[in-house]
Amino acid sequence: MLPAVVKLCCGISYPHLRSLAGLQRTAVAVIGQELTHLQRWVQVQHQKRTHAGLKYNVPKPEDITPVPLKEDQLFYIQQGQEAMRKALCMLEDTQGWKVEITESEGDVICSKVVPGAGKVFRLETVLESSVDELYDLLFVRVEEMHQWNPSVEHIKVLKHVGPETIVTHEVSASTGGNLIGQRDFLSVRHSCKQKSSVYLGGAAIQLESFPPQAGFVRAEDGPTCIIIQALDEDTGKSRFTWLLNIDVKGWLPKSIVNQALPRAQLDFTRHLRRRLTANATLG
């Protein structure tokens, strides 16, 4: 089942791998590794349930039959992987990017119009942090983001699906200077780790059990992704690349939206740097 999911999520067959390069080839390799981890996770869950019923009868590894994932679990994992694949393909296409903003801290934001997605924004910078610390802040402890990012009112993890996929509900803060206004998001978030790199992908998702909330305009993410890579010469620093692809919905003029989104990226990065500095001071 799982190898079939790789082919379904990546939209490829094995001969096509010969034509992949750069980020897309890396993404396929990462997803393959990550599904191996998922198989192990399924076995561990089965082992835990067996321990609960037979306290002293620990099964041998060869006696463990992996428990198939439920259909909805596979759906969420597939959605997260597909979002990551599409976002990485956008980043891999180097043609058509236009510089929007260059900051003194080294932040550079470019934009391009992508068919079917509209205008997307790519932020690139270097952060004084390890890959693991950023992964912990941005994925493992995502529910704590409101503590250091005033643009977020709250983020709640609604579902944990396997070791690397979550479904979240996020509400943006109603703050002064917010040109877009308050929005809420329902998203699937997926992570892949490969040696000195982390890939965080995501996209909007719909749940009958969690319809749009009264008083909010539900915006839609994605496909979007963040790539965190350790600098070769310094493992205490990371190259940070963020593809922002969002439909804010509502009736706002595109000119307002296209002005607000890259500024939101700069604000996020500024708050993230402050958090990293505070952590370094406490550490």
Spatial neighbors of 79 by CB under 8 A, at least 6 apart, are 188, 190, 203, 205
Query: Residue 242: CA atoms inside 13 Å, Cβ hemisphere, count?
Result: 22
- What residue ranges define each of the domains in the chain, with the CATH number in brackets? 71-281 (3.30.530.20)
Distance CA 261, CA 267 (A): 10
Helix (H) or strand (E) holding 211: none
Q: What is the mean pLDDT of the chain?
A: 78
The reported pLDDT for the residue numbered 55 is 35
Per the CB < 8 A criterion, the answer to whether 269 and 125 are in contact is yes
pLDDT tens digits, residue range 125-172?
A: 999 999 999 999 999 999 999 999 999 999 999 999 988 899 999 998
pTM, two decimal places = 0.75
Tell me how far CA of residue 21 lies from CA of 9, 88, 92, 227, in angstroms: 17, 11, 9, 16
The crossing angle, in degrees rounded to 10, of helices 71-92 and 22-53 is 160
In 3D space, the residue among 232, 260, 235 whose CA is nearest the CA of residue 246 turns out to be: 260
pLDDT of 208 over the 80 cut: yes
- DSSP lists the bridge partners of residue 243 as 122, 225
In 3D space, the residue among 112, 106, 250, 100 whose CA is nearest the CA of residue 172 turns out to be: 250
Peptide bond into 68 cis (omega under 30): no
Across the range 224-240, mean pLDDT stands at 89
Query: How far separated are the first and last CA of the chain, in Å rounded?
Result: 44
